[in-house]
Amino acid sequence: MARIFITGSAGGLGLNAASALIRQGHDVVLHARNESRLADAGEVREQAAGTVVGNLADPNETVQVAEQAARYGPFDAVIHNAGVYSGHEIFTVNTVAPYVLTALMSRPRRLIYISSGMHRYGTPDLRGIDWTNAATRPAAYSDSKLYVTALAAALADRWPETEVNAVDPGWVPTRMGGPAAPDDLELGHVTQVWLATRSGGDHGSGGYWFHHQRREPHPAVKDAAFQAQLLGALESHTGIALR
């Protein structure tokens, strides 16, 4: 039995992953941005090992989420599932919050970051990056997913005792993906559930996964210079260093 924390798990892929893990007998701690959203989790909330509330678009609340989660730890795995597709909060939720939570929380055995196939359209140019996305750049979502995928690869290189991977769940019909999304919702959470709990064999770390298959990510993801630049930019922006 594993103890697993999932951000953004009151709905969509996060809730589906939580439900699957609970059915398998694992202890799952849910997270939602507010109490109203947490109520949407229904029976899964009742079956969860704990709940954490905090808006990852707010840096102060992100720190509080780390503090709340610590009360339920240590964790065998953390799935950084929370994400947004548009608006000023894209970088804050999709990239900065996973970095901050990773830096502040005790290191689990496994870390899983939700990426997207759209990360391949991101640009690795961090010069003058505006983490608040004040100008609402059209490419911000792709950039944010490139950055979080590179974060996963950087951690895999730096933390050999922790299994770190990124997952593309596909474009699925969740609230964020929209009803016209073409991929299978039932497959959207399966890979991250498997990565969080798999046993036996040497599957390695630092993978970019799509439906149980390793895929090649954007070349910048494995670029050591870009990884270092990204970690430096995140530390400078947040004032929080990786341990």
| DSSP states along the chain | --EEEETT-SSHHHHHHHHHHHHTT-EEEEEESSHHHHHTTTHHHHHSSEEEE--TTSHHHHHHHHHHHHTT---SEEEE----SSSTTHHIIIIIHHHHHHHHSPP-SEEEEE--GGGGG-----TT--TT-TT--TTHHHHHHHHHHHHHHHHHHH-TTSEEEEE---S--STTT-TT--S-GGGTTHHHHHHHH--SS---SSEEEETTEE----GGGG-HHHHHHHHHHHHHHHS----
Identify whether 222 is a catalytic site residue. Answer: no
Q: Which of 99, 141, 147, 208 is catalytic?
A: 141
Identify whether 145 is a catalytic site residue. Answer: yes
Rounded Cα–Cα distance for residues 214 and 212 (Å) = 7
In a 10 Å sphere around its CB, with 0-12 CB exposed, 13-18 middle and 19+ buried, how is residue 172 labelled?
Answer: buried
Q: Which of 145, 147, 208, 222 is catalytic?
A: 145
Cite the active site residues: 141, 145
